[in-house]
Amino acid sequence: MNSVHEISLAVRSKRITALDVVERCLAALPQPCADPLVAVTRLLPERARTEARAVDALIAAGGDPGPLAGVPYGVKDLFDVAGLPTTAGSAIYADAPPAVADAEAVARLRAAGAVLVATLNMDEFAYGFATINARHGTTRNPHDPARLAGGSSGGSAAVVAAGLLPFSLGSDTNGSVRVPASLTGLYGLKPTHGGLPLAGVFPFAESFDDVGPFTTGAADMALVWEVLSGRTAGCDGRSLRLGRLGGRFRDNADPGQLAAIDAIAAATPLLEFPDIARARSAAFLITACEGGALHRRALSERAMAFDPATRDRLLAGALLPGGLYEEALAFRASYLDVISAVMEDFDVLLAPATPCTAPPIEDQRILIDGALSPARADLGIHTQPITFACLPSLCVPLRRAGQLPIGVQLIGKPGREPDLMHFAARLEREGAIGTTPPTGMATPAWQGLVAA
């Protein structure tokens, strides 16, 4: 699989043109109406060719096209793309006025030479962990098309896991990047809240929303993060202090996942975040209240146009007493002080990303505390508390030959994403983590075009 680094280097060194990369990428991507993964909602061939030609022209003139020169990518269907309606995965906004400008994250990627080729499937309004969409369908997992890809950024994960794109953008509110990254075997970042630009991204719950990339390696994640954040992921030479999260984080987890965590961080402290159940309940309340308030008018005017599952959850949120919301916010403020004290002596904590591998589409339930629970609501049982605590988290894929993928969260202090990326790079070198391409899928024609 060609990495972001490989493609950019080949384009900048004139071993291949950005237009050639894009043409082969577009040829490999399925039309939305015939997509076996149900991941692509719109192809953008005219825009992609225009952007690619601009990169090639700049290189021909001796200019610097940027660190992502000619690299194709896609975005979750809630990023503003100039000239297109921003649907947020809903039929309600299919005919909305087109965006007048790109989202800030898209603009930064374009300025760095990246080429936007597609918009990608999601849970309606990002409310779910499964990418079950009433308008477009349910996104399938490239490792087993009979299983969920996770959500709500499932389309963004599926295209990268299938080798159709080298990276993509999703959004993560309570786990919507980390959950699909875990289930499809990718690297997926939930940054420090507000650390990446949210301008032009359709909101869900603004207390928690963040932009997050998907990549197939730590170096690519660091590069994309640098472009989006305007910061450097350079190593400061510190020895990272590690810990493992216990308690509720070990109650519902894959045994192999726990064994891998214990092997990676052997002899490190097993810590507990206090009041995890209360924190998750407060996160549910804040999410529901903010989501319900955002869609209150549309619910009153066009309730039957919503996906029924989304509508019921948004209605419930809109009807919650304001006092509960204020109480949840007050608890969060005090909780952040507690978590800050817990994190004081640690740089990276390890925890499961999802409680299990991808569940079947035909039976979308997972085992939580010994009982079957809806995957759409509970695949984020381990990611939601980390969001609530305002900590950055990088999901990384464990090496599991011949098994379905599952990921681990590398959790850091606010603003310390470089710690997570450098630790991930170390784990790659040690062979503990890494992306495994799906078996039984044809290799896209554009892969292998660029020599490593």
Residues with a catalytic annotation lie at 76, 152, 176
Contacts of 67 (CB under 8 A, 6+ apart): 8, 112, 113, 223, 226, 227
What are the Cα distances from residue 205, in Å, to 98, 170, 192, 314?
A: 23, 15, 15, 11
Q: How many CB atoms lie within 10 A of CB 20?
A: 17
Name the helix (H) or strand (E) containing 242. Answer: strand 242-245
Q: Tokens in use for 370?
A: 């010994």
- Paired with 348 in beta bridges are 242, 412
**Residue 450 and residue 1: Cα distance in Å, rounded?**
9
Q: Which of 216, 184, 142, 165 is nearest to 24 (CA)?
A: 165
What are the Cα distances from residue 106, in Å, to 127, 244, 338, 425?
A: 22, 35, 36, 26
390: region left, alpha or beta (phi > 0 left; psi from -120 to 50 alpha): left
